[in-house]
A = this chain, B = another copy of it.
Amino acid sequence: MNNSDLLQDSFKQTKYQVGGHGTRNVQILKDAFDSVEGQSVSDLYGKGEIIEAFQAKMAAYLGKESAVFFPSGTMAQQIALRIWCDKKDVRKVAYHPLSHLEIHEEDGLKELHHIETVLLADKHRVIELDDVLTMKEDIACLLLELPQREIGGQLPSYETLEKISIHCREKGIMLHLDGARLLEILPYYQKTASEICSLFDSVYVSVYKGIGGIAGAILAGDQAFTQESKIWKRRHGGDLISLYPYIISADYYFDQRSEKMGQYYEHAKELATLFNSCYGITTLPQEPVSNMFHVHFHMAKEQMEMILAGIHKETGIGLSSYLRATSDESCFFEVSLGDLYESVPKSELRKVFNLLDQKMKEIKS
């Protein structure tokens, strides 16, 4: 067994884990469906009570005229950008170099929609007002991802968002929100979803990140926009005969967790402080602005895997199932706080971080 398997294996055997809502297993679906009558009739190609009610609920929550349930954010966002490009008759959009569209979608936006991209800011920071003001290219749409996941979930200031929004409206640039983790940033901004969304022309929200559903996404905007998005949803093959397995679970976990985002955020700050108290460990951002952050180790991945696996065995508390190398001498993992953190015994947690600090020091000295 190599070190990364060892780490994964040791993590699976821990009694407690600091991140997430728990294993993605079938029980998640069973729990959601226990609350639903067997006689409830399926949605049918985007129509029917189950889908229409949830779409209306999410439209209201996001403060938009209309919302559409999609099987995935990948599909929803490509379609949003395509609609804005068609509307503006400009086949170019701008986003962050580490946007999901740029690095996780096999270039679907380019291959299927032939849309060119302008990359704003750089791989180490979020898009700021100046990046937008100094952009020379003519674009149809600017996509902002809040928080910027691949850099630990960083955020610009709310004032920056407001200024970017005003600028885009003046210039006729459509502004799209990649709000995969929109709910998770509300406590930091101290805004409602609706207030944030009012700065944007279209919004995507994931139902399986902080909300913890099974899969799926919401795309919201004005009526004309969502109507067109349904045509593209069919073209993409996303207008399934039945989406209710995702919708019912999304609705169920939205109700359970939408009010818990403040708690996840507080826990994230607490946990980040614990990591930052250890020798050779820093979090990004240093103080989280949502329920997520990255933990960076100034140590080689192979060695760090052994250390974490050891801690998992010794304490029964899981920190991460994996590490990713950032250089020969450094590595990191991502953590998103969810339901599990509160059940981790605090005294045991302190023990974990004392041990971690001690082991880091031992090896470095």
Contact = CB atoms under 8 A, between A and B. Distances in A.
Interface in A109-130: 111-113
B26 A72 contact: no
B38 A24 contact: no
Q: Determine which residue in A23, A108, A231, A232 has the highest number of CB atoms from chain B within 10 A of its CB, and name it.
A: A108
A237 B232 CA distance: 12
Interface string A234-260: 111111111111101000000000000
A74 B239 contact: yes
A215 interface: yes
Contacts of A239: 72, 74
Interface string A65-101: 0000011111110100000000000000000000000
A26 B44 contact: no
A interface bracket (residues with beta carbon within 8 Å of B): 35 or more
Nearest to A113: B112
A28 B71 CA distance: 20
A141 to B, nearest CB: 18
Nearest to A112: B112
Interface of A: 23-30, 33, 36-42, 44, 70-76, 78, 105-108, 111-113, 208, 214-215, 231-232, 234-246, 248
Nearest to A206: B241
Given A71-B240, A246-B245, A235 B41 contact: no
A27 B243 CA distance: 14
